[in-house]
Structure 1
Amino acid sequence: MDSYRVGLTLHPTRDVSGVVRTIVDWAGRHGVGLVVRAEDKARVPPQVAALPSTALATGCDALISIGGDGTMLGTLRLAVEHPVPVLGVHLGQFGFLVEVQPEGLPAALDRLLEGQFTVEPQSCLACTVCGDDVVAFNDIVLGRHPGEGFVVATLAIDGQQYGYYRCDSLIVSTPTGSTAYSYAAGGPLVSPAAQAVVVTPSAPMSGISRPVVLSSDEVLRLELHTDSARAAVEVDGRVIKHIEDDGAIEVRYRRNAGLVVRMDPRRHRERSQLRLSLLDLPLLPEQLRELLPAPLRDEFDRRQPPPTP
């Protein structure tokens, strides 16, 4: 297995040294090569090699994202032209994509090397923003600048215009991204198994005021109207460009653009359901019980009232 190589992507500000040391020790025992992006070389031990960001996916058999969902999304974007399995180690606050906690990392690394995992394909949005190509695994957003008015944009699907939006922001999301900004703006929760694109206006003033769900085969175009304010374009939460009233974005859905490692898909779904329940979807008592560790589950059972005869 000395030809097996793993790339590391690091949260930009969190202390990742403990997790990195665990991975370095494991790699040394198993003859696994480790690489990191050149800009992160100073944050890892000297035995970890460096590669340009553009070569990380093509030079590795798997990637390990150390952080939260934001780090995972960035890792998926790095590998979009050459998808390889990405294992997420959770150091964030409220992650849906990442699965492995630091204490479970040694066992997960062994399973990664042995191929004992499943892969969850992730779709993305392939977008053209004023001629520049970008990809978004959660969402692409047209957002207004405070104090500069509203975003006013026309909606066209497969070249046919359908109406306009006048709102604070326009959110175009994947099914995975439907749990993020789109959901906070009143959009629907879409199953990750679905193939769809969701367009959700935030704080609509006039025009189309409700979310729209499109087929994955339809091409979406949003074009700023002449009386629109300047808009910031965000991709997965990062501002990438500012566009004026002649700007437009075109969005296509791309299947199987990312590969997320799942060690326990059922358990991960249950944890994601719990996180959603904390937002808006209450769980039944028996569903909550299944998410508890065994000692707490026993205590939960003791506290339940006896069944009614």
Structure 2
Amino acid sequence: MAGYLLGLVLHPTRDVSEVVGIIARWAARHATTLAVRAEDRHRVPASVEPVPAEELADRSDILISIGGDGTMLGALRGAVRSPKPVLGVHLGRVGFLVEVEPPDLPRALERLVNRDFTVESHACLACDVCGDDVVAFNDVALARQPGSGFVTATLAVGGQRYGYYRCDALVVSTPAGSTAYSYAAGGPVVSPATRAVVVTPSAPMAGISRSVVLAPEEDVRLELRPDSAPVVVEADGLVIRDAATRGAVHIRYQPDAGLVVRLDPRRHRERNQLKLSLLDLPLLPDQLRELLPDGLREQFRHRDLRPPR
């Protein structure tokens, strides 16, 4: 992989020095250039090249996300204009996107050298949020502010109005995002191989009270009604609009918007199946760990087994 440039995307607050050190030592042996956002230069060795945040994805051949699912989603969003393969290194909780644990990183990097990996394509939601362009790989949510009433919005699909919602939150998700906020709100788990958009109300009080699964070609529009409480609009958990009282969110499904490196797709699916089943058990984290196989139990020994957000 001589001549390649690997872009590092770092968790905003966690200590990533150990993982960055492994990658830096490997890069020095393989004549590979590393780059990082300029604002993160103080968190990496001097051998890592700082570049403007908006240029990191364009200049990189492969991105390495160091953190959890949130960091991985940020890496995918940053590369949406020119998708690059993203390898996820796990420093989070029970992540569904990331695959590589820090002890396995040297072997994973060797496989990158030999191009011994597959690429998993991910769709995103391309959104117009009250006039602002926004991208989300998991979900877009309209949520009420605590104590301020309910989210009240009409649903239109392909330009045709279908009804209204009155609820605590409205979640529009991709298949990959169906295991996140939408799942917590009672929505269905959708196979990542499916192309679909899921609209799920959280704690509905009136109007549409069940999840709606739509085809990818169908545009979704959620328009706030005059009697709606102020609404917070989030994309992949990031606040885009705070206390919006009018306007609309227009959502389009965009296929093949992100590329995720998979080293062992079957093992990754099996792990996710286990993680997903554990989230529904009414047990404390220590009890959950005791149910894991020995090898997996050690990996989660010092981790919090709570749903990722």
Query: Do the structures match in fold with TM over 0.5?
Result: yes
Using the TM superposition, give the Cα deviation of residue 295 of structure 1 relative to its aligned residue in structure 2, in angstroms: 12
> How far off its partner does 1:245 sit?
3.2
Counterpart residue identity of residue 30, structure 2: H
Structure-2 residue corresponding to 1:68:
68
Call closer, same or farther: CA 1:178–1:166 in 2, change over 3 Å: same
Aligned to 2:128: 128
Corresponding residue of 2:259: 259
Q: What is the CA distance between 1:243 and its match in structure 2?
A: 5.0
Number of the residue aligned with 1:269 = 269
Measured in 2, the distance between the counterparts of 1:295 and 1:23 equals 24
2:50 alignment counterpart: 50
DSSP 3-state at the match of 1:56: helix
- 1:306 counterpart residue number: none
Partner of 1:240: 240
* Alpha-carbon distance in 2 for matches of 1:259, 1:90: 17
> How far apart, in 2, do the equivalents of 1:231 and 1:3 lie?
48
Q: 1:276, 1:184 → 2: CA distance?
A: 11
For residues 13 and 92 of structure 1, the distance between their equivalents in structure 2, rounded to whole angstroms, comes to 11
CA positional deviation for 1:104: 0.3
Question: Is the CA contact (8 Å cut-off) linking 2:127 and 2:250 kept in structure 1?
Answer: yes
1:94-135 CA distance string (max 9 Å, x none):
100000000000010011122100001011000000111010
| Alpha-carbon distance between aligned partners in 2 of 1:58 and 1:153, rounded to the nearest angstrom | 38
Cα 1:169–1:295 shift into 2, 3 Å? closer
CA distance in 2, matches of 1:72, 1:202: 25
Structure 1 runs (4+) deviating above 3 angstroms are: 291-296
Q: Distance in 1 between matches of 2:113 and 2:204?
A: 49
Q: Could you say if the C-alpha distance between residues 294 and 154 of structure 1 is closer, same or farther in structure 2, counting changes exceeding 3 Å?
A: closer
- Do structure 1's residue 191 and structure 2's residue 208 form an aligned pair? no
The aligned residue for residue 30 of structure 1 is 30
Partner SS for 2:100? coil
Determine helix, strand or coil for the equivalent of 1:210. coil
For residues 145-180 of structure 1, give each alpha carbon's deviation from its aligned partner in whole angstroms, at most 9, with x where no partner exists: 111111000000011000000000000000000000
Structure with greater Cα Rg? 1
CA contact (8 A) 2:145 2:243 kept: no
**What do the CA deviations read for 1:177-221 (whole angstroms, capped 9, x no partner)?**
000010011000000000000000001010001100000000000
Q: CA deviation at 1:83?
A: 0.5
Contact kept, 8 Å, 2:100 with 2:108, in 1: the verdict is yes
1:57 match: secondary structure: helix
> Which residue pairs with 1:205 in the alignment?
205
TM-score normalized with structure 1 length: 0.90
Q: Which residue of 1 aligns with 2:12?
A: 12
Aligned to 1:95: 95
The number of equivalent residue pairs is: 288
Secondary structure in structure 2 of the residue aligned to 1:12: coil
Q: Which amino acid aligns with 2:131?
A: G
Write the letter of the residue equivalent to 1:154.
Answer: T
Give the superposition deviation at 1:294: 8.2
Separation in 2 of the partners of 1:249 and 1:243? 14
The answer to whether the Cα contact below 8 Å between 2:65 and 2:89 also exists between their aligned partners in 1 is: yes
- CA–CA separation in structure 2 for the residues paired with 1:244 and 1:238: 15
Q: Is the 8 A contact 2:118 2:261 kept in 1?
A: yes
**What amino acid sits opposite 1:12 in the alignment?**
P
Tell me how far apart the structure 2 counterparts of residues 243 and 65 of structure 1 sit (CA, whole Å).
Answer: 32
**What residue is the counterpart of 1:161 in the other structure?**
161
Q: Is 1:118 matched up with 2:145? A: no
Runs of 5+ in structure 2 lacking a partner? 282-291, 298-309
Deviation at 1:54, TM superposition (A): 1.1
Q: Which amino acid aligns with 1:98?
A: V
Normalising by structure 2, report the TM-score. Answer: 0.90
- C-alpha spacing 1:295/1:250, structure 2 compared with 1 (3 Å): closer
Q: Is the 8 A contact 2:187 2:200 kept in 1?
A: yes
1:30 CA drift (Å): 0.2
SS in structure 2 opposite 1:55?
A: helix
Name the SS of the counterpart of 1:233 in structure 2. strand
AA of the residue aligned to 1:114: N
The CA deviation at 1:292 is 4.4
Report the 3-state secondary structure (helix = DSSP H, G, I; strand = E; otherwise coil) of the residue aligned with 1:270: helix
Cα contact 2:7–2:56 (8 A) shared by 1: yes
Q: Paired residue for 1:105?
A: 105
Partner residue, 1:177: 177
Q: Which runs of 5+ in 1 are unaligned?
A: 282-290, 297-309
Q: Tell me, in whole angstroms, the C-alpha distance in 1 between the residues paired with 2:2 and 2:189.
A: 43
What are the superposed Cα offsets for residues 203-245 of structure 1, whole Å, 9 maximum, x if unpaired?
1010001100000000000000000011000010111112533
